Amino acid sequence: MDPFTPVRCHMSKWGDRPHWRFEGTYLGEDDHGRWIGFPAGTHNARPGFAFDSEVDCVTLVPHDGWFLATFHAPGIWCDLYVDMATPAVWRGDLLTSTDLDLDVIRMAPTPPVASPLAPQNAKAPWGEVFVDDEDEFAEHTTLFGYPPEVVTAARNSADAVLAAARDRTPPFDGAHQPWLDLVPQLPVSSPRA
């Protein structure tokens, strides 16, 4: 795929249940994986909820891994949000993956000035790295019937990402910054089917 190609991202929940839909721009590839850029104002929608992003961000789609890592520019409540998910599949300009509930989050170092999407009661101190949605993962494991190998892969991925994000080891060592620096020049995508 050529750099600056528009891409569609379709996330689902287990059992092909609809989840997030959003569009971005393919930026390129490095040793960590493929990078997608999303300028501030990008529309994100899932059944029952939608919002336009407040800041620029980039998502790393690893070459081989059970996660998608989104790095945010300063100005919101977190600077890193990593979804544990099935390995991503590319079909032309369409990226698909199944969200597996568990998230690794690194809170922003300081509170944002005025972010309407900021959690009213922060789940962790500013700058803290933690795993979120353990309760949702436990519930969905039973409700949706996650296979044991999927449960193991999601938990192992969350543990590895948590350690790497805390220690700021690759790709959580600032590797995203050159990609994030490209985002301000990108147009905000209009939603496509």
- CATH architecture label of 5-183: Beta Barrel (2.40)
pLDDT, tens digit (0-9, with 9 covering 90-100), for 57-76:
999 999 999 999 999 999 99
Domain boundaries, the chain: 5-183
pLDDT, tens digit (0-9, with 9 covering 90-100), for 32-46:
999 999 999 999 999
For residue 175, what pLDDT is reported? Answer: 97
Q: Are 51 and 44 in contact (CB under 8 A)?
A: yes
Question: The pTM is what?
Answer: 0.93
Of residues 21 and 123, the one with the higher pLDDT is 21
